[in-house]
Amino acid sequence: MRRGLFILAWKSLLNRGMSAVLTILAVTLSVTLFLSVERIQNGVRESFNSTISETDLIVGARGGSINLLLYSVFRLGDPTANISWESYELVSTAPGVAWSVPISLGDSHRGYRVVGTTTEYFEHYRYGRDVALEFREGLPFDGIYQTVLGYEVARELGYELGQRIVLSHGIGAVSFAEHTDHEFEIVGILAPTGTPVDRSVHTSLESIEVIHIGWDTGMAPSQPVADFSDEDLQPASVTAVLIGVESPLRVLSLQRQINTYRGEALTALIPGVALSQLWEVIGAGERAFRAISILVVIVGLFSILTALTSSLNERRREMAVLRATGARPADLASLLILEAASLAALGAVIGIALTQIAISTISIIVRTRYGLDLGGQIGLLELYVFAGVTVAGAIAGGLPAWQAQRNALSDGLTPKL
């Protein structure tokens, strides 16, 4: 009898097709919701954590640390203000500073952020676990009117080396102020990184200054500016500065000196600490979503219990026939537990498959729009969910199994009036 339980359970589920399908659907939807929430949360967290590494401090204008982190590293939001070039030079030459990379934001190209910087950016910027930027094609810029594109920018817009592009004033997807009198040659295309670098257009600080000559009022000059001097190429300010120190022991003291600098209101943050603050801010929302998804899974498991319990009265004669043919009460209990576990397992498998499809589709959109990688591989989380839901389903089948084995043989064969 025990050897035929699996076949019997399968045929029993097929015989109750509509009820079984609805129960599996409930489990599928609950598992899909739970895994989607977990995968998105974990993917976003891992993607944020791996966006920048080996950078000890980020310096910007006085303001919130999270906002500074978002616009300087993740290209999200707008800078509150710039810091003067004199302050940048003072910070970059401070004792213990190994390297510094200034960045200037504020322009765009067809919705992609323009990052004005120096060639040291390609030498010192790290992401993931100390992974350096690599060039897929070309070389870094070495003069004005040259640009290096992130991988996504080149791929989405179909750009190649040697093409010329025009930058836009402002960071909107649509701009009515174009720097049409200055064309930039694409001299390099970076290899994919899975970070916002892929969605950035990089050029020199001098280039940023040139295209803004005559824009003192915030409007385009009435006539193109053809002549400029070396003084015009000297940046007056930058948006933020990435800093690496010679010794980790120097980080906290340098951060304190910058934050208490009286010459200008500056903020220096440690990227890892700022990320921790970011997760604290959104932690309540994460916990709320997780609690809701867990409750949905519990509701899905209760649907198994409801389906089996409600069908017991209809299956009393079936149970009695099985008893009459030699099945023991334990066999009947095992049959119902096996059915419950099968429903839960099928729902979990389909839910995992749907989650994989949904996350793979969403990942393309999120990676293209925000430069975040949600991941796409099935891991231990899915295995744990499958095992947990299957075991929980078997436990949920315990109550109807206990009721079934208590039904007497005569109770099943005697018509109920």
Task: For residues 20 and 17, give the distance between their C-alpha atoms in angstroms, rounded to a whole number.
Answer: 5
DSSP letter at 250 equals: G
| Residue 276 clears pLDDT 80, i.e. is over it | yes
Confidence of residue 286 (pLDDT cuts 50, 70, 90): confident
Strands 178-190 and 146-149, bridge-based pairing: parallel
Terminal-to-terminal C-alpha distance of the chain: 32
Task: For residues 5 and 160, give the distance between their C-alpha atoms in angstroms, rounded to a whole number.
Answer: 64
Task: Delimit the domains of the chain by residue range.
Answer: 5-48+283-413, 57-269
Question: Tens digit of pLDDT for each residue in 326-384?
Answer: 667 666 677 777 878 888 888 899 999 998 888 888 877 776 666 566 666 677 888 88
Confidence of residue 402 (pLDDT cuts 50, 70, 90): confident
CB–CB of 394/333 below 8 Å? Answer: no
> Could you tell me the pTM of the whole model?
0.72
Question: Tens digit of pLDDT for each residue in 147-205?
Answer: 999 999 999 999 999 999 999 877 765 555 677 778 999 999 999 988 889 999 999 99
- φ, ψ of residue 72 in degrees (nearest 5): -85, -30
Q: What local confidence, expressed as pLDDT, does residue 264 receive?
A: 93
Average pLDDT, the chain: 82
Q: Give the residue among 149, 116, 380 at the shortest CA–CA distance from 238.
A: 116
